Structure formats: C-alpha cells, structure tokens
Amino acid sequence: MPMSNEQDNEPLSRRALGLGMAATGLGAMAVWGAQPASAAADPTAHTIDVTDHGAKGDGVSDDSDAIRAAVTAAIAGRSGGVVKKEIFFPPGNYRVTKKDTLMWSPTNGKADQIFGLRFRGCGPRVTNVFFDTDFAATADPRENNLITAAVRLRYTYFEDMSFSSTNPNNRFAYFWSVDALTGQPQFPEYGFGQNQYFVYRNIEWKGTWDRVIGIDGDHEANNNSEHHFILCSTDTKSAYTDAFLHCGISSPADRNQQNQFLNYFMLSCNFAVAKGDFFRFDRGGSINVLGGSWSTVNDAELGPQDIRYFYMPLPNGEMTATRLHVNGVRFEPKGEKHKIIDCNWNNGSVTFTSCSDMAAIQRSTAADFNLHRYAADSGRLPIVRYQDCILGGYHLVDAAGSSLTNGKMIYEGCRFYHTSTAVSTTTGSAFLRYKSAPARYAFRDSWATPDVSG
C-alpha cells in the first residue's frame, strides 16, 4: 500500500532505518553504495595469487617462473603506469633460484615506469621466499638480485613476508636512477628516469647475503629516495659481505649527484647482525630512526666479526645529505670489533637521543670498546650531539683536536657507564678520546661527569 505524504515527511529514526535495511537487503545496500557480497569477496578483484600461476610454496619446487608470471600479469594490467592488483603470497615457503624474479629492467633504452606495485604475504616466517642460488661473486651490481629496477619503480610496497638466503653472493634489490643520458652514461640501455618511495612493512630478512638493498646512479643520478622500514627485522644469522643497505655504489667519490639519494626512515625495527656493515652511506643520507632494538651477535660458527651499524666512509661535505637522527634505540654491541657508528662525514649533523648502547657490555673489560668513531676529515666534524643517552665503552675523534676548525662533540644529560672522566687523548681512559689535543667538545648536565668544554 502506498505511503501517505504525511508519512513521507516524517524523519526516519535509526531503528526504522535499521529495520528497513534488514528488510530490503541488497536493495538498501545499493542505495548506500555497498557492493554485493559476492563481488566484494572476489579475491581476484584486486589480487594476483602466485599459486594461481603455478607456485607451490612447498620449499622444494622451483617457484621462480610462476612468481615472475604473477608479476608480469600485475604489471601488464597497468592503467597509466599504475598497477591495479597486488601480488599475494599465501602461507608457504617459496623457493626461488633465478635472478630478477620479482622485478627486471627493460633494456631498449626507454624507461618503463611502474606505480603502486605491492608484494604481500601473511606474515614473516608464515610467508617465506628462499633465494636459493649458486651465484658466484660479481662486481656488477645488476647481477644476483631478486629485484633489478633501473629507472622503474615508484610507490612500491613489501608487506608481511620473510626473505632468506644462504649464499653470500645473493642480493635482494638494486635500484638505479638517472635524470638524463648525457656525457658517457654508465647504463644507457635503461634510458632515464627514477625510482622513488619504497615501503617495507613487517618484513624480515634472514641469513647470509652480499647486500640486501643497493642504491645507485651515475653522474646524472637523482632520486632513489624515500625508503621506509616499518616493524622490520633481521635474524641472528644475518651476515653481509657488502652491507644490508649500501647507498652510492658506483664510483661514489666522483659522483656528487648521488647525494640526491635521500630520506630513509626506520620505525620500531629489530635489526640483528652477525657480520658486516648494516647501513653504508658513501653518498646520500638524511637518515631517521625511531625506536627499536638493534643487537650485534657473536656467532659461534663465524667467530668474532667486524660489525658496524652506520658506516659513512667518505667525508661527503653535502650538508643536506649528511644528517643522521637516531631516537630511542636500544643498541646491544657485544664485542670490541662492534661499532654503532663509524663516520667520516666532515659536515652536517649526527644526533642520538634517548639511546642506550651498554646493555650487553656491563663488564669492566668493555671500557676499551670503541663503539662510536668520528674521523674529523680535513679538520672538520659534523655537529655530533648525544642527548639523554646511556653510553658504554668510549667514543673516538680520530684526529688532533688542535686541527679542528668546524663541528663539535656535544653530550647533554648523558650517563657514561664505564667512566666519569670526560675527555683525554687515546693514551688516557676517558669517555671521549682524541688522537691528541682534545678540542671542540662540551659535556653538560651529565649523571656523574662534571660540566666541561674545550
């Protein structure tokens, strides 16, 4: 029976709306813009499942071709360069034996940009990709990678997976960016363009690698920027021939443009390492770390190994790149060959706030562990500042203080676990040691160390 005009003009109560929705079912859903359950639940609407392309995930079968077929299908369905479907890995152990399985680069001299590519699993160790190769060592950074992306990837996501390797020559990803093909380009076959904006969320890298992430470009390098590590981890067997992340690989001393590789963010990550360098920045920088637990490992099989969490081997006077800010990280060095930072920058700033690095070295012999080193190249330091930190071992300025003209070592509100003496030369036993003639330092409001400056 038709409703009267009087009824039409009455406001609709929440209860009446709920009853009407229940009564009218799909019709009411359509009014509110909802999709029928069958369409909303269709797993193929926005997802490409690698098992639909033949991947087994049984840890035995070679899933390389099946996974590459899934990636090919995803990028073939682009609209305006934008990928419409994510690549999904159900729970399983996916064995990969071939390079460039997750991404490759066209070699016809033209860039082929891909926007919004997403790799998603069901959680670290629930979804695991095992890079199982017999690759030999090579100096060519484009070889031995799961991902080789030359001027190709923008807004790329990796989520909820583990990647593992037992070959010290394996690499996870190599990103190459250049703005133009002028002069003598190193790799003209890729054309020109950029990689930019990567998110690694809840990703674990396990085992032995040459390098996990390589960031590179020639004299026209640009971008390769914005790498976000969120809730990521490495296992206690993690060992690197080169580094976990190496920024500026090809001729970095001669390629100042590599300083365009900027903006790295690590949020609440747990990074363990048994061998090698973790973050190596020959060029580029602007590094931001917030929270997490970073622990070095004395592996019984490997024996004592050199380990550095932050390694900056070049002076690199570009102050827009030479910036490191670490906040709220618990570092756990465990031996005299382990360093939190080994820094040759002669410009910019290094800041540690509310950090601790003495958790695993609460013993008297650790007083002579040099955990933080600054080279002070050409008479210059960055502005180095430690605020509200608990620090163990000693810090080294590997230069004569009398030669310094710029920069400073500043400690505010810190506690020094092994000594209350602020400054000495390397022949002394103070917390901050210089090769000779200490200068350009300040200690303020420390737990037990008197205020002093020079």
**What is the pLDDT, as a whole number, of residue 280?**
98
Residue 42: pLDDT band (50, 70, 90) is: confident
**What is the pLDDT, as a whole number, of residue 29?**
39
Given a contact cutoff of 8 angstroms between Cβ atoms, the answer to whether 401 and 434 are in contact is yes
The verdict on residue 171 lying in a domain is yes
Has residue 34 got a pLDDT over 80? no
Residue 313: pLDDT band (50, 70, 90) is: very high
CA neighbor of 68 nearest in space, from 131, 146, 169: 146
Task: Provide the domain limits for residue 261.
Answer: 43-314
d(CA 318, CA 431): 29
The verdict on residue 221 lying in a domain is yes
**What is the pLDDT, as a whole number, of residue 41?**
63
The verdict on residue 59 lying in a domain is yes
The verdict on residue 83 lying in a domain is yes
d(CA 158, CA 165): 17
Mean pLDDT of the chain: 91
d(CA 217, CA 193): 11
Q: How far is CA 297 from the centre of its chain?
A: 19
The verdict on residue 187 lying in a domain is yes
Q: How far is CA 276 from the centre of its chain?
A: 16
Q: For 157-169, what is each residue's pLDDT tens digit?
A: 999 999 999 999 9
Residue 8: pLDDT band (50, 70, 90) is: very low
Q: How many domains does the chain have?
A: 1
The verdict on residue 302 lying in a domain is yes
Has residue 198 got a pLDDT over 80? yes
Please enumerate in sequence order all residues whose Cβ is within 8 A of that of 185, keeping only pairs 6 or more positions apart, or say none. 178, 218, 220
**What is the pLDDT, as a whole number, of residue 25?**
44
168: its two tokens = 């010290």
The amino acid at 287: I
The verdict on residue 168 lying in a domain is yes
Give the Cβ contact number of residue 365 at 10 Å: 9
The verdict on residue 403 lying in a domain is no
Give the Cβ contact number of residue 420 at 10 Å: 14
Which carries the bigger pLDDT value, residue 361 or residue 333? 333
**What is the pLDDT, as a whole number, of residue 6?**
39
CA neighbor of 146 nearest in space, from 136, 161, 156, 132: 132
**What is the pLDDT, as a whole number, of residue 21?**
39
The amino acid at 338: H
Q: How far is CA 76 from the centre of its chain?
A: 28
179: its two tokens = 């703005």
Residue whose entry in the numeric block shows the structure tokens 């797993």: 43
For residue 330, the 8-state DSSP code is E
